[in-house]
Structure 1
C-alpha cells in the first residue's frame, strides 16, 4: 500500500513501478475502446509520479492543447510537466498529495497550461482518487478559457459600474413595486441614515427630517408616477445626511420594467449627487447679475457661445461698432473682422492669436477663466491710434453645457499714455531721450542671446575735448552739444540698432544686421562725419569711436565694452575724430 503523507523520492519511484506493471494490458484495453474519443472532453490516465507521466489519452486531450497525437509524441509531450509551469506543477502535486492523505474522493483543480501555439489556456482538471490509483489516475480536462474570459468581462463590467457610480456620485438601487422596497446595489456612505434596503417607500423617507418640505412633495410625485407604471421619471431634491445640517442637491431618476415571467414589476433607480452642478447654476445666476453692473462703463459688450460659435448679444454706445457687427452672427466672424479691420497694425497679430475661438476654449479647459489684452484702434493710418482694453470672462453655462464668453471693451487711452510716459521716463535718459545705462545694458544683453548670421558691432562714442567745451562755453551749450550728437546717433541708427547714453559725453551704439565688414566700416566712417560739426560760435565738435565685433571680440556686454573701450583709447591717442577696431 502506498503512503501519501510525504514526498520522499523512493515512494514516488515505488508508486511509478506499481502503476506501470499493468500498463500493456491497460493500453490494449484503452486502444480498443474507441468510445473514449467520443467523450466531449480531454481524458488521460496519469501515473502518480513526480512528472505525472501520461499513460494514455484520447485525441481530445491532445487537441485541447493544440496538438495531434503524433505532434505530441514528437515534441516530447508525454507528461503533464510538459504543459504545466514548474510552480503550478509543484502546487498540483502538493494538493494532490494532501487530497489522497485525507482520503478525498473527487479532486479538481484549475491550472493554466501552455499550448502548442504559444498561448496559455485555463483548464479544469478533475479525477476520482479512490478508484484504482495503482493503475493510474483517470483525469478529465475541461477548457475554461471562455468561462474565464466571461468572468473577467463580468468583473470588469462590475468594476466599471462601481467606478462610474463613485465618479459621478451616483447610487444604484433596485425597486420592487410589490414590496415597495429599494435595495442598493453598492454600499452607500456610512454617514447616510439608510440601511442596504429601504422598505415602505416613499412613506419611510417622507416621515423623516432629511428632506426640505418642497422636496418631500417632489419625492411623493416621483413615486406616484413610478407606481402608476410610467416608463421614466425624475425629480430634484434637497436632502441632508443624518450627521450634517447642510442640505445637498440630488437628482433621482427611474426606468420602469413591467412584470415578466421571471420577475415582478420593478424599476432601476439612480440617485446622483448634483450639489456641485446645482451650486454652479446658482453661482452663475449671481455672476450674471454682478457682471451686468460692470458693463455699464464699457465702450462695447458682447456675449458669445464659444462651444457653438454663436454671437448672442451686442451692446455699444459706438455707432462704428454697431455697424461693424451688423450681419455678423458668429464669434469667429466678429474676431476676424475686428482683427483685420479695426486693430492697429502693430497689435493685429497679438490680438488675433489671443482671441481666436480655439485659444479661448483652450484657456478655459486649462483652468483659466479670463483673457485680456490692451490694443490700439485707429480708423485709418493717418490718425493717432486710441488705446483700448478687451477682457473675456469665460464661464461654463450649466444649463446648456457650453462655454460662454462675456467680452468688455473699454477706452483706456488716457491711463495708458500716462503709463507709457512713466515707463519711458524710467528707461530713457532725461536729457537726450536715448536709453539710459540700465536699459541699454539689458537690451544689448537680450540681443546677444539671439544668434545672428549678420555682423553685430559694439561701438563706444566719446566726444573730443568735451570737458573743455563745457567749461568754456557753459553747461547750457554743453547740453546742446550732447542733444545734437544724440540726434545724429538716432538718425544714423537702423530700427534694429540699440542706442543709449552711458553718461556724460559717452554713448553706445549697438549695430545689428550689417551684411559685410566693408559696409560696417562705411557706416562707422559716415557716423564720424555726421558727428563732426562747427557751431556759429566757432566751436567744433568731433568724436572718437572704439568698435568691437561680435563674437570675435566677445559675446557679453562686459567683454565687448572692455574691448571697445581699449580701441577707443587707441583712437584718442591717434587724434580727434578717429575710430579704431578692437584687436581680437
Structure 2
C-alpha cells in the first residue's frame, strides 16, 4: 500500500508545476499577441488616413513588429505582400472575420509550397464607419520557440499549441535538451497510440479539447512515459500542452520502488527489521519533501523569470498597460504607467475623478465618460482617442485608450485591462488631412477634371473626370508624370497652347515653385473636349503629404469657355477701330514694337495710305457715304492682308500697313501699286476716289515706329504733291520742305517707352 501511494504521489506531483507554467505561458502569449495587434492597428490607422501608403511604412512596421511578413488586403481579398508579391485571401476565415470588424488569429499549415508553420494575425482597416481593407501579418513557429519551452524542470520539458480537433499549430524546439513531446501532426492520433490500453482516456482528452476543458494525462510513446497537462488559451478554442518526461519528473521514483520491494521482502522474512525500514523510509520521505520544497522554490524562480520576461516585452513596446477594478472604480498602475500619465499608482473614482480634476480635457469629457458606460455595460472591448494632460500638467496630448473586459463565471465584467499610446502626431496629421480633404471636395464641385500626382515618386494617384465628358486611356493614368503630361498635351491640348501648357505643367518647375513657397498657381489654355477647343483654367496646388513627406500635386480643371470668350471679345473691341474694325493706333504701335523685337534682323515695310480728295467726297455726298467709303476701303485692305501683316486706321482717311518679313523693297512697291489700283473707283460722273501711298523700309529707313512713321509720311507727302493716285518709296533725297508730321506727342512717348 505504501509503495502504491508513493508511486501515485510521485506521478501527481508534476501536474501542478506544469499547470502553473502553462498558465504563465498563456499570459505571455496573450501579451505578445496584444502588442502585435496594437502595432498592426496603428499601421492600419495610418493606411486608413492616407488611403494608400502601404509602401511607405510596410518595411518599418514589419521590423518594429517583428513579423515574418505583412500584407495589405483589399476588400476583394487581393493581398499585397511586403516583398512585392500578390496573393488572394478572400476564402480565408481570418480575412472574412476582419472584414466584419474583428481582430482575428489564424494559423499557417505546412504544405508542399510552404515549409513553415506559424500563425497569422489580421486587423480591419477602418475609415469612419466603413471597413476598407485588412492588414494581415504572420509569425512563424520559430518566433515562439522561447515561449514554448516550459521554464520548470530546468527547461527539459516541451510545449505545443493545438486547435480543438487536436491539430498541432506549433511546438517547442529545445536545442539545449532535445526532448520532444512525441506528439506530431494531431494530438488525438498520437494519444490513441500512447493510450492504446486505455481507449477511454484518449476519448476523454479529445472531448476536453472540443469543450475547452483543462486536464492531465500520462501516455507512453516509443517506450517512454510522459506526463502532460493541457488547458485553453482562450483564442480560437486553442489549447496548450505542457509535457515532461517521466524520467525527469520521477528521477527518484525507481529508487523508491526498489526500496519498496526490499522492504516487502524484509517484512516477509523478518518483522523485526520493519521498524528499521520504517525509520529509513521516514527519513527518505523527509528528504524527498525537502527536495520537493527546493524544487518548488526553483519553479517559483522560473515563474518570476517568466513574469519579468513578459514585463520586459511590454516595456519595449510603446503601449502602456494597467488594470481597472470595475467594482471599486479604480485604476491600478504599474510604475511605467504612473510615470507616463503623471498619476498615482492607484486612482480612485474613475472616470469621474479624471474629468473633474481636468486630467481629461473638456472637449473629450463626454466621449470619455461614454466609453466607461460601455465598459460597465459589458462590452468586450471599448476604445477612443482623448485629449488628456501631459505628465508635467503643462499642456495636453492625444492618447488612444483601449479596454478589454474580463468576465466572471456568470458573465459579468469584474476587471478590465487598459492600454494606451500617444497618438498626438497621428491626430494632428488626421486633422490636417481631413481639412485638406474638405477643401478638395469644394474644389471638385465645378471642376471637369482632377488629376493628383505624387511628384516625389513620379506616379499618378487619382484621375477624376466625371464632368469632362471624356474617358482617358491607361496611357495617361499609368505612365509616369512626364510621359502622362506629354500624352495629355498631345491629345487634349489645343495645338497653339501646347508649349505653354508643357512649360507650366512641368515636374522640375513644381519642385522649384515649392522650394520658393509658390504652392498655388493658374494657367488658362484651350483644351480639346470631344474634338473642340474649350477654354479651361488649370489651378494647381502643391501639398506636402503629412505622412510620407512626399510632394503631391493637385490639378483642378475648370471650364471657363463662356467668360473667356466674352473677355477676349471685350478686349478685341478695345483695340479695334469703331468704324472699320481695324487696329487702333495704340494697339498697332504696340504690335509693331513686338514685331521688331521678335524679328530684328528681318526686313519689314510701312505703307502710309491716304484717300485723295476725301474732303470733297464728304462735302459732296455727305458723311454717311464718306464713312461707307472708308469701310469699303478697310475691307479691301483686309482682303489683301497676309498672315502676320498689321493694318491700322490712323484716323480720318489715313491708314497704315506693316508688311512683315519682305525679301526686298520691290515687293513693298508692288503691293503699294496694287493697293492704289484696287482702291481707285468712280464715285459719280464728276467725282473719282483714289489713294496715295508712302513707303518706308525697316531697318534701312528707321528702326523705331517714330522714324518709320515719319519717313513713310514724307514719302506720302511727295506722292500727293506729284499728282496723287500713286505710291512713293522714301529716300533721303526727297524734298521735305513744307512737311509737318502728325505723330502726336503721346505716340512719340509711347514708342520710346516700349523700346
Which position in structure 2 is the counterpart of 1:186?
none
For 1:462 and 1:496, the matched residues in 2 are separated by: 22
| Equivalent of 2:508 in 351, 358, 361 | 358
For 1:445 and 1:549, the matched residues in 2 are separated by: 15
Which position in structure 2 is the counterpart of 1:443?
591
Matches within 5 A, 1:96-135: none
Could you tell me whether the CA contact under 8 Å between 1:360 and 1:371 is conserved in 2?
A: no
Which position in structure 2 is the counterpart of 1:416?
564
Give deviations 1:202-247, integer Å, cap 9, x for gaps: 86785499998899xxxxxxxxxxxxxxxxxxxx9998899987x6
Could you tell me whether the CA contact under 8 Å between 1:547 and 1:568 is conserved in 2?
A: yes
Structure 1: gaps spanning 5 or more residues: 1-176, 178-199, 216-235, 251-273
1:463 paired to 2:637: no
For 1:384 and 1:391, the matched residues in 2 are separated by: 21
**CA separation of 1:412 and 1:203: change in aligned 2, threshold 3 A:** same
Could you tell me whether the CA contact under 8 Å between 2:521 and 2:539 is conserved in 1?
A: yes
Which has the higher mean CA deviation after the structures are superposed, 323-332 or 492-501? 323-332
Determine helix, strand or coil for the equivalent of 2:478.
Answer: coil
Which position in structure 2 is the counterpart of 1:581?
729
Give deviations 1:238-278, integer Å, cap 9, x for gaps: 98899987x6899xxxxxxxxxxxxxxxxxxxxxxx98x98
Which position in structure 2 is the counterpart of 1:32?
none
Could you tell me whether the CA contact under 8 Å between 1:210 and 1:241 is conserved in 2?
A: no
| Equivalent of 1:368 in 518, 533, 538 | 518
Which position in structure 2 is the counterpart of 1:316?
465
Give deviations 1:465-486, integer Å, cap 9, x for gaps: 1121122222222122112221
For 2:684 and 2:574, the matched residues in 1 are separated by: 35
For 2:726 and 2:392, the matched residues in 1 are separated by: 93
For 2:661 and 2:476, the matched residues in 1 are separated by: 47
Determine helix, strand or coil for the equivalent of 2:715.
Answer: helix
Give deviations 1:118-140, integer Å, cap 9, x for gaps: xxxxxxxxxxxxxxxxxxxxxxx
Q: CA deviation at 1:425?
A: 0.9
Which position in structure 2 is the counterpart of 1:151?
none
Determine helix, strand or coil for the equivalent of 2:470.
Answer: helix
Determine helix, strand or coil for the equivalent of 2:460.
Answer: strand
| Equivalent of 2:488 in 321, 328, 338 | 338
Which has the higher mean CA deviation after the structures are superposed, 482-491 or 566-575? 482-491
| Equivalent of 1:389 in 514, 520, 537 | 537
For 1:560 and 1:514, the matched residues in 2 are separated by: 15
| Equivalent of 1:531 in 679, 689, 704 | 679
Which position in structure 1 is the counterpart of 2:176?
none
For 1:430 and 1:243, the matched residues in 2 are separated by: 77
TM-score of the superposed pair, with normalisation by structure 1? 0.52
| Equivalent of 2:660 in 512, 515, 522 | 512
Which position in structure 1 is the counterpart of 2:108?
none
1:301 paired to 2:417: no
**CA separation of 1:279 and 1:521: change in aligned 2, threshold 3 A:** farther
For 2:698 and 2:470, the matched residues in 1 are separated by: 50
**CA separation of 1:241 and 1:512: change in aligned 2, threshold 3 A:** farther
**CA separation of 1:532 and 1:290: change in aligned 2, threshold 3 A:** same
Which position in structure 1 is the counterpart of 2:196?
none
For 1:578 and 1:278, the matched residues in 2 are separated by: 85
Q: CA deviation at 1:434?
A: 1.0
Determine helix, strand or coil for the equivalent of 1:307.
Answer: coil
Q: CA deviation at 1:281?
A: 6.2
Could you tell me whether the CA contact under 8 Å between 2:342 and 2:390 is conserved in 1?
A: no
**CA separation of 1:453 and 1:249: change in aligned 2, threshold 3 A:** farther
Give deviations 1:468-521, integer Å, cap 9, x for gaps: 112222222212211222122223232222211111111111222011122222
Could you tell me whether the CA contact under 8 Å between 1:210 and 1:242 is conserved in 2?
A: no
What RMSD in Å do the two structures reach over aligned CA positions? 3.9
Determine helix, strand or coil for the equivalent of 1:399.
Answer: coil
Determine helix, strand or coil for the equivalent of 1:509.
Answer: strand
Q: CA deviation at 1:394?
A: 1.4
For 1:312 and 1:562, the matched residues in 2 are separated by: 62
1:402 paired to 2:546: no
Give deviations 1:28-65, integer Å, cap 9, x for gaps: xxxxxxxxxxxxxxxxxxxxxxxxxxxxxxxxxxxxxx
| Equivalent of 1:492 in 615, 621, 640 | 640
Matches within 5 A, 1:4-153: none
Which position in structure 1 is the counterpart of 2:705?
557
Could you tell me whether the CA contact under 8 Å between 2:340 and 2:391 is conserved in 1?
A: no
**CA separation of 1:323 and 1:202: change in aligned 2, threshold 3 A:** closer
For 1:242 and 1:502, the matched residues in 2 are separated by: 82
Determine helix, strand or coil for the equivalent of 1:544.
Answer: strand
1:502 paired to 2:653: no
Q: CA deviation at 1:568?
A: 1.3
The count of residues paired between Structure 1 and Structure 2 equals 343
For 1:583 and 1:466, the matched residues in 2 are separated by: 27
For 2:393 and 2:589, the matched residues in 1 are separated by: 66
For 2:619 and 2:711, the matched residues in 1 are separated by: 30
**CA separation of 1:443 and 1:238: change in aligned 2, threshold 3 A:** farther
For 1:492 and 1:483, the matched residues in 2 are separated by: 15
TM-score of the superposed pair, with normalisation by structure 2? 0.41
**CA separation of 1:401 and 1:488: change in aligned 2, threshold 3 A:** same
Q: CA deviation at 1:573?
A: 0.5
Give deviations 1:171-221, integer Å, cap 9, x for gaps: xxxxxx9xxxxxxxxxxxxxxxxxxxxxx9986785499998899xxxxxx
